Amino acid sequence: MNYLDGLNAAQAQAVQSTEGPVSVIAGAGSGKTRVLTTRIYHLIRKGIPANEILAVTFTNKAAREMRERVRAMLGDVALNDTPFIATFHGLGRELLESYGKVIGVPRYFSVYDRDDSEKVVASALKALDVETKELSPRAVLGRISRAKGEGLRASDYHERHGRSSFGNRITSEVWLRYEKTLAAEKALDFDDLIALPVHMLEEHADVRARAQERWRYIHIDEYQDTNNLQEKLAGLLAEKHRNIFVVGDGDQAIYGWRGAKMENILNFEKRNPGAETIVLEHNYRSTRNLVDAANGVIEKNKNRKNKISTTENARGEPIVIHIAVNAEDEAHWIAHKIRDLMRDGTKPEQVAILFRTNFQSRALEEGLLHAGIPYKLLGTHFFARKEIKDVLAWIRLALDPTRQVDMVRAVASPPRGIGKVTLGKLVAGQRESLRSSERSKVETFEKLVAEIGRAVDSLCASEFVKLVIEKSGMRAALAEGNEEERERFENIEELASVATRHDGLPGREGIAAFLADAALSSDQDEMDLPAKAGQKEKGGVTLMTVHAAKGLEFDTVFVSGMEEGLFPHHGMGNDVNRDEEEERRLFYVAMTRAKTRLFLTLARIRKIYGSDFLSEPSSFLADIDNTLLLLDETTGESFGSYSSEDVIEV
C-alpha cells in the first residue's frame, strides 16, 4: 500500500472511501488532484475495471494532467482499458457519440464555437428585420444559453415567450431558426453538449441503464462550479450505484455569474442521504503568511462551510502592497520588480500578473514590453485566430462536404475566385443558375474537397492537418508572404503539432477527437501548446484575469488594480451589481495562486472609459492582518487624501 505513503489522514480517508456518496471539501493547495488520481489508482488496485471509472473536470488542461498522473501511477500495470477522464463537455460529447442516435444526433457531429453561433444568430436577426442596435446577436445568444442551462428546448421557450416582450419574442423566433441551421449543419453548440445528454438520459431508460452500468464509480472535480444541468447529469449517471465522489471548495466558487451553483457542494449531504464528508485543510502550496492572509479574507464570508487552512511551510515573505500614481506607473513598477526578481534567479514563467477586468491588460503589457520582459497573455485564444479557424473549416468540410458554413469559409481561404453572389446561389440551392465560368470554379473546389476527404480514413490527425494545409493552398498563400502572413503560417503549423495528441486513434476517429478538443479548448490550454518549429519551449510572465487563473499556481503573483469599485468590482458606473461574497472568493482565489510571493498593487488614479477616476484602496485589504503586510515605498510620495502608509488602515 506504499502509494498511500505521504498522504495525510484526511487525504488517505478520501482515497479509501470508495463506496457510496462522498464529498471532499478541498481547500486551496490541499492536494485535491493527488487525492483524485490516487483514488482512481486505488480503485483499480482493488480490482475495479478501469473502464468503469469516470472522472470529470472543467478544463482540458486539468483533464490531461489527471490522465497523465494516473498513467504514471499505473506504470507497467497491464490494463484492457483506461478510466474515462474528460471535461463535462467532453463527457457530453462521448455520451452523444455513443448513444445520441436515439435522439437524432449523428455519430460525427461538429461543435459550433461562440463565434459560429453568433454569426448564425446575426443572420436570423437580419432575416427577421431586427437591427443589431435593437437586439445584439450576443444578447440573444445569451438568452438562448441561459434557457438551455435551465433545461428548456426551443419549442418550450417559443410556447412560453412567443407572445411576450420584444426581446423574448424575437429570441424565440431566432432560436427556432438557429436550431434548424444546427440540424442542417450536423452541428451542436456548447450548451447542447450538456442539455442533450440530460434530456436523453431522462427520456430513454435503456440508454440511462447502459450509461450507469458503463461507469459505476464517478468522480466530479470542482463541484462548486457545476450548474444545475451538470449536477443533474452527474446525478443521473450515479443514480443506480450511488458511487459519486465530488471534490470542491465553496470558497473558490467564482462562476455564479454564468450559472454555477455553489449550493451544489454546500447541500451535497442533503441531496445524497448518508453521504460522507471529508475536509482537506492542509495547504501544501503556499507559505504560512499567505495562508494566514487568505484565511483572514475568506472567513469574512457568511455563506460557506467552516474551514481553516493550515500549513507546515515556512513563514515566508510578507505580502507587499504598492500604491502607484496611475495605471502606467503601476505597470512600470510591476515590470521593474519582476526584472529585479529575474536578476535574483526567478524565471519569468514562474511569475503571473492577475487583473480583475480585461481593460487592465493594455498598460501591463506596455510596461513589460518597455522593460524587455517576455510575457504571454492568456485570452488571445489560439483556436479563435482566423487562420486556425480557416484550417478547421477545411477539415470539417472534408469530413462532411454538405456543411455550408464551412464551405463559405473554406472557399475564401485562400480566395479562389468564387464570389459572394456565387456562394449566395449555392447556399440558396440555385446551382442551376450559375454561369459556366462560376460552375467550373465551384466544381474544381468540390473536387479538391473530395480529394482531401478520401484521405480521412488513412491518415492520422496530424498528417491529415498537414495535408489540408498543403492541398488547400494555405501553405503557398502564407509561407512566403510578409511577416504577418509568415506568423499566421507558423500558427497553422503549430496546429499540426497540437493534432499529434490524437495520432493514437485511427483516421476519422482521431480527426473527430482533434476537432472536438479544438472546439472545447479554453484559455488555459494556451499554456500547453507546443513550441513552434525551431523555437525553445514557450516562456515568459503570464498575464491573465483572476478567473482564468483558477486551478493554476505560480511562485510569484502580482494582483493589480486593488481598488474599491474595481476589485471588488462594482460595475464601474454601470447598473451591474456584483455579489460581494463572490468578489471576495475571487480575491481569495487570486491570493492562493501564489506559492512564495504576493504583491498587491493599486493606482491612485485610474482611467476608465476615457475618464480619470480618483480611487480608494480595496476594502478587501482591510481583511488582511497588518502584521502580514509590507508597504513598498519606492516613490515615497503621498497622493491626495491618503499616503501609502494609510492603505493598511483603510
Residues annotated as part of the active site: 32-33, 221-222, 252, 593
Using CA atoms, how far apart are residues 456 and 451, in angstroms rounded to an integer? 10
User: Residue 534, annotated ligand binder?
Assistant: no
Using CA atoms, how far apart are residues 193 and 186, in angstroms rounded to an integer? 13
Using CA atoms, how far apart are residues 566 and 577, in angstroms rounded to an integer? 12
Q: 631 has which bridge partners?
A: 321
Cell of residue 434, nine digits:
450559375
Contact 636, 645 (CB under 8 A): no
617 burial (CB, 10 Å; 0-12 / 13-18 / 19+) is buried
> What SS3 state is found at 7?
coil
**Amino acid at the residue 490:** E
Using CA atoms, how far apart are residues 493 and 487, in angstroms rounded to an integer? 10
The DSSP H or E segment spanning 553 is none
Contacts of 11 (CB under 8 A, 6+ apart): 31, 34, 35, 38, 280
User: Residue 133, annotated ligand binder?
Assistant: no
Q: 603 has which bridge partners?
A: 324
- Our measurement of the distance from residue 218's CA atom to the centroid of its chain's CA atoms, rounded to an integer in Å, reads 22
Cell of residue 361, nine digits:
491588460
> What SS3 state is found at 56?
strand
Contact 441, 418 (CB under 8 A): yes
User: Residue 259, annotated ligand binder?
Assistant: no
Using CA atoms, how far apart are residues 373 and 392, in angstroms rounded to an integer? 33
User: Residue 29, annotated ligand binder?
Assistant: yes
User: Residue 335, annotated ligand binder?
Assistant: no
Q: 556 has which bridge partners?
A: 351, 597
Q: 376 has which bridge partners?
A: 542
User: Residue 27, annotated ligand binder?
Assistant: yes
Q: What are phi and psi for residue 626, nearest 5 degrees? A: -55, -30
Using CA atoms, how far apart are residues 141 and 43, in angstroms rounded to an integer? 42
Contacts of 420 (CB under 8 A, 6+ apart): none
Q: Left if phi > 0, otherwise alpha if psi is -120 to 50, otherwise beta: which for 572?
A: left
User: Residue 643, annotated ligand binder?
Assistant: no
User: Residue 26, annotated ligand binder?
Assistant: yes
Binding site feature residues for ATP: 26-33
Binding-site residue numbers are 26-33
